[in-house]
């Protein structure tokens, strides 16, 4: 436990026998539960994870691969159902630095945010540590997500290193989360619709030559489709909530206030009206 809160780490993994052991071994001692979600692996991912003998590890399995988003949804839903106060996502490819976890949890445990994302792009070594295509691509996707969701403070939409409080986690219909690549954008859309407080903290990018699962179709088709759907949902929600004679000036003033960014490592974000 940390600060009196039960912490669960969700580890989505598919064919990660080479790195899943390192990922689980790196989970700090203050984490109470480790939920490994095996997304239809055909290698020894589960065996390598269990070989560590960590009593915190619980394995959930998808008989066939359903996608990383579905794996995270399965793990988070299970963690909250079993009483976790906070669910953290640390992928099975060991790309999340455990040294950043206390900072990631801080705003949630202090009641300043419902959901915290890592921001790799603000890390001072991001340009050198991240492959150039990912560095550029994440900037593009983040800009598109800011526009689609009205989260003007959002800096790294695709980072999967996250922490969520059960107060919002138990209100999400996890069965509706986009199952594959693009899930971070879809999850943000769900959170915006719930009025959740979203924040970011700077985390270290970790890349060790592992093969990326990102394909051209993800960049050109999947993410744009997810963002278009999210934007349409946002427009419908705004139209439904705003009275027809709502003062435009007042609405713009409130939107401008909601987009103010605290110039520290924790970047508070709230959706524009």
Is residue 64 included in any domain, yes or no?
Answer: yes
pLDDT for residue 182: 87
Query: Which tens digits make up the pLDDT trace of 173-197?
Result: 999 999 988 899 999 999 998 999 9
Mean pLDDT of the chain: 85
pLDDT band at 238 (very low <50, low <70, confident <90, very high): low
> pLDDT tens digits, residue range 241-262?
444 443 433 333 334 344 332 3
Residue 214: its pLDDT value, please? 54
103-121 mean pLDDT: 97
DSSP state for residue 87 in the 8-state scheme? E
**CA-based nearest residue to 33, from 86, 94, 72, 111:** 86
- pTM of the full structure: 0.83
Instruction: Kindly report, residue by residue over 51-66, the tens digit of the pLDDT.
Output: 999 999 999 999 999 9
Domain-located, residue 213: yes
Residues of the domain holding 129 = 7-269
Q: Give domain status of residue 1, yes or no.
A: no
Identify the DSSP state of 117.
Answer: E
In a domain, 180, yes or no: yes
Beta bridge partners of 10: 35, 89
Q: Is residue 173 part of a domain?
A: yes
Residue 217's pLDDT is 63
Residue 141 has pLDDT above 60, yes or no: yes
Q: Give me the CATH number covering residue 98.
A: 3.90.550.10
What is the structure's pLDDT at 269?
52
CB 155 within 8 A of CB 121: yes
By the 10 Å C-beta count (0-12 exposed, 13-18 middle, 19+ buried), 243 is classed as exposed
pLDDT of amino acid 272: 44
By C-alpha distance, which of 174, 157, 208, 166 is closest to 26?
208
Q: How many domains does the chain have?
A: 1
2 within a domain of the structure (yes/no): no
- Most distant CA pair in the chain, distance: 63
Give the integer Cα–Cα distance in Å for 64 and 199. 34
């Amino acid at each position: 436990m940390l600060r009196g809160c039960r912490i669960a780490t969700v580890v989505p993994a598919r064919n990660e026998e080479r790195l899943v052991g390192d990922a689980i071994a790196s989970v700090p001692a203050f984490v109470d539960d480790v939920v490994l979600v095996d997304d239809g692996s055909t290698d020894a991912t589960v065996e390598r994870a269990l070989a560590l003998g960590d009593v915190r590890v619980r394995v959930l399995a998808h008989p066939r691969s359903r996608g990383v988003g579905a794996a995270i949804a399965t793990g988070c839903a299970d963690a909250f159902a079993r009483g976790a106060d906070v669910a953290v996502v640390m992928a099975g490819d060991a790309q999340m630095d455990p040294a950043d976890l206390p900072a990631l949890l801080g705003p949630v445990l202090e009641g300043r945010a419902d959901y915290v994302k890592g921001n790799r792009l603000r890390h001072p070594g991001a340009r050198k540590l991240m492959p150039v295509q990912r560095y550029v691509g994440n900037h593009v996707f983040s800009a598109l997500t800011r526009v689609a969701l009205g989260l003007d403070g959002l800096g790294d939409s695709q980072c999967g290193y996250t922490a969520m409080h059960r107060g919002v986690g138990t209100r999400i219909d996890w069965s509706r989360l986009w199952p594959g690549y693009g899930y971070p954008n879809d999850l943000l859309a769900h959170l915006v619709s719930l009025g959740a407080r979203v924040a970011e903290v700077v985390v270290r990018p970790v890349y060790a030559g592992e093969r990326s699962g990102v394909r051209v179709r993800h960049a050109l088709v999947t993410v744009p489709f997810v963002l278009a759907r999210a934007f349409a949902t946002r427009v419908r929600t705004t139209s439904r909530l705003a009275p027809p004679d709502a003062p435009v000036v007042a609405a713009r003033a409130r939107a401008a206030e909601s987009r103010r960014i605290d110039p520290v490592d924790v970047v508070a974000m709230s959706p524009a009206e």
